[in-house]
Structure 1
Amino acid sequence: MSHYSVGPDMAVTLNFSLKLEDGVEVDSTFDKAPATLTIGDGNLPEGFESLIQGLVPGAREQFTVAPEQGFGIHNKANVQRMPRTQFGTDIELSEGVMLSFADQGGSELPGVVTWLSETVVEVDFNHPLAGRTLLFDVEIIDVQPAV
């Protein structure tokens, strides 16, 4: 057991689960190998990182995470309508399908088809958990200085 606590540039091994307010589990490592990440590397949203600051190995905590602290508020500006002709005929289009787009910087940007007609496709580029309050259950297993 290390004597370190969770903080900037620390490598943290943890188990976590993420649930919606109604108890539906979105993700969990409790039934598989724990996750290891470095605080500040972007693997864990900043709002989640701030919650676990100062925790030590052996700690187990539960947090309610507001949308502003988690994956953000659902932003209507991130829902875009595009001509159906922009999509190749080989692409299966239906509501709920996740597609991958390239943003201006060439990074991959996932979007979910939320509505479509013969001529228009509406795609939501918000994070699927945007606007949702989440229950974050975390167990700190180990904390070491990141190499």
Structure 2
Amino acid sequence: MTATGTQVHPDSYLTLHYRVSLAEGGGDVVTTFGGNPATLQLGLGQLAEPLERCLVGLAEGSSAQFDLEPEAAFGPRNPELIQKVTRTMLDANSNGETDYAPGDLVEFPTPDGGRFAGVLKEINEQWALFDFNHPLAGQRIRFEVEILGVL
């Protein structure tokens, strides 16, 4: 695809195809190639900030590939984000599901009305161990893009 000159800015509205995969292989984490392209506005959190930074300066009609180290992508894994939660707290603050299993993604409310999620690692009658790191934290990722349109 030949670039036409209109460049992506930090607040651009754009249409693109993109793929996120692990740099070492293992398949796509997410892709729009082979389907409908994504249309989004940068700066609004519709795409992860590390990925948005890669897009700034690219021209409409261009394609690019970025291999990102963990520090430039979703950060290193933080052992402090692996937390035990009491079963009482889990049952009171989760979405009402009662049959939890390791690997489940469980959402919790925040005081300001938002939500955050953790992956259940272990569970027993007294507590549950959650990993609140981003699922791609500590991973080298590959980000491939094709910029279809920039407004």
Pick the structure with more helix per residue.
2
1:53 alignment partner in structure 2: 56
Give deviations 1:65-87, integer Å, cap 9, x for gaps. Answer: 12222222211111110122333
What is the Cα deviation at residue 90 of structure 1? 4.7
Give deviations 1:13-46, integer Å, cap 9, x for gaps. Answer: 1000011123221000002111111121122222
What is the Cα deviation at residue 110 of structure 1? 1.0
Q: Is the 8 A contact 2:106 2:118 kept in 1?
A: yes
TM-score under structure 1 normalisation? Answer: 0.88
Residue correspondence of structure 1 range 21-100 to structure 2 within 5 A? 21-23=23-25, 24-88=27-91, 90-100=97-107
How many residues of Structure 1 are paired with residues of Structure 2 in the alignment?
144
CA RMSD of aligned residues (A): 1.8
Q: Residues 2 and 41 from structure 1, CA distance in 2 versus in 1: closer, same or farther, beyond 3 angstroms?
A: farther
Q: Which moved more, 1:108-117 or 1:86-95?
A: 86-95
Q: Is the 8 A contact 1:9 1:38 kept in 2?
A: yes
Q: Distance in 1 between matches of 2:143 and 2:111?
A: 33
What is the Cα deviation at residue 107 of structure 1? 0.5
Q: Which moved more, 1:108-117 or 1:80-89?
A: 80-89
| Unpaired stretches in structure 1, ≥5 consecutive residues | none
Q: Which moved more, 1:108-117 or 1:79-88?
A: 79-88
Q: Is the 8 A contact 2:4 2:61 kept in 1?
A: no
2:116 alignment partner in structure 1: 109
Q: Residues 86 and 96 from structure 1, CA distance in 2 versus in 1: closer, same or farther, beyond 3 angstroms?
A: same
TM-score under structure 2 normalisation? Answer: 0.86
